Amino acid sequence: MNLSSLLFYTTLITGTLISISSSSWLIMWIGLEMNLMSFVPIINKDKTPYESEASMKYFLIQAMASMMLLAAVLSAEMMNNINNWQNLILISALLMKMGAAPFHLWFPNVMQGLSWINCFILMTWQKIAPMVMTSYQLFNNKFINSIIILSVVVGAVGGMNQTSIRKMMAYSSISHIGWMLTAMLMSGSYWMLYFIMYIMLNMAVIMIMNKYAMFQLQQIFNTKMETTTKFTMFTGMLSLAGLPPFLGFLPKWMIIQNMIMFQEYLVIMIMVMTTLITLYFYLRMMYSAFTLSNQSGTMLNENKNKTVLMISISISLLGIPLISMINLY
């Protein structure tokens, strides 16, 4: 970690904190710009062609979204109130910044060119400011409902044919945005709980991917790994997909219960069905890696540090006691 990296990470965090703590839309916009101008050099740290392409795409999309946001805010300031069109443009700009469908096309392509650590930042930290800003102007209308349905459908269908793990994670993230927006419509605390669990599950999967430098499905099939490592990685992925009784199912369960209580049957049915498709493409990958291409032999003996595996599997299996406790109450 050199001084320039320290500076960029500090301003990245500061930009987000300015955006979520400000009461003025213009100051929020300044925070978003600080965050953007810090993340671009972090992406392009090793200056490989993939990173340069990803940083350029990310910058152009974010700059366009910022321009839309600023136009909506300034026109609302001039008229001293915010009408439906200005609200629509403002929400669309924020949805574009976080990569929700149908403004998602940049997201998998940018993810493809990033290191695992930067993928983690893009999927978690970079969503905080746009999400919080969206919550200020979020109303339960047809536009938001259509965004939620589109996000879960695109997230499920888009990940079907992928051979790149990073692109699969990107489409999974788009699907989770739909669930997070639904949680936000109910209450801020639901969204916060979902988001914290999403960060933990992403961390559990990405720690292992980063440790073993896995980027393509073929690597999972062909890499000689201990069964423990494979089991840990796939437990994390099943949890991220929302399979009961793992941790990832818990926030989804709460949202399903609340949606049924509010009689939003059609939307929640679409969301559950698309989650099953997401679960299918994760299961397909795991089934192949565990049975058809299981390369780990009896002679393989790894004496590496198991800390990463222990943290990862602990996060994934945390849901089992939590779900049992909720059932008791």
- What is the biggest distance separating any 2 CA atoms in the chain, rounded to whole angstroms? 74
Name which of 118, 115, 108 is nearest 163 in CA terms: 108
Q: Tokens representing 146?
A: 């259509």
What confidence score (pLDDT) does residue 289 get? 72
What confidence score (pLDDT) does residue 283 get? 87
For residue 222, the one-letter residue type is N
What confidence score (pLDDT) does residue 123 get? 96
Contact (CB, 8 A) for 98 and 130 = yes
- Between 34 and 237, the higher pLDDT residue: 34
Map residue 22 onto helix, strand or coil: coil
The number of beta carbons lying within 10 Å of the beta carbon of residue 294 is: 14
pLDDT band per the 50, 70, 90 thresholds, residue 298: very low
Name which of 211, 231, 206 is nearest 290 in CA terms: 231
Compute the mean pLDDT over every residue in the chain, rounded to the nearest whole number: 89
Half-sphere exposure of residue 164, counting CA atoms within 13 Å on the CB side?
A: 14
Q: Tokens representing 94?
A: 């924020």
- Between 181 and 300, the higher pLDDT residue: 181
Map residue 255 onto helix, strand or coil: helix
Map residue 216 onto helix, strand or coil: strand
DSSP-assigned states of every residue in 122-173: HHTHHHHHHHHHHHHT---SHHHHHHHHHHHHHHHHHTTT--BHHHHHHHHH
The stretch 93-117 carries a mean pLDDT of 95
Instruction: Write down the residue that tokens 């291409």 correspond to.
Output: 293
Q: How many domains does the chain have?
A: 1
Contact (CB, 8 A) for 101 and 148 = no
Please tell me the pTM assigned to this model: 0.92
What confidence score (pLDDT) does residue 61 get? 96
What confidence score (pLDDT) does residue 77 get? 87
In angstroms, the CA 155 to CA 171 distance is 4
- Between 320 and 224, the higher pLDDT residue: 320
**pLDDT-wise least confident of 124-133, 286-295, 310-319:** 286-295
pLDDT surpassing 60 at residue 328: no
- In tens, the pLDDT along 52-81 reads 999 999 999 999 999 999 999 999 888 877
Name which of 22, 74, 302, 256 is nearest 152 in CA terms: 256
Q: Tokens representing 230?
A: 């494979």
pLDDT band per the 50, 70, 90 thresholds, residue 304: low
In angstroms, the CA 310 to CA 316 distance is 10
What confidence score (pLDDT) does residue 299 get? 47
What confidence score (pLDDT) does residue 290 get? 72
Phi, psi (rounded to 5 degrees) for 165: -65, -35
Q: What percent of the chain has pLDDT over 90?
A: 63
Domain span at 219: 3-328
- In tens, the pLDDT along 137-174 reads 998 889 999 999 999 999 999 998 888 999 999 999 99
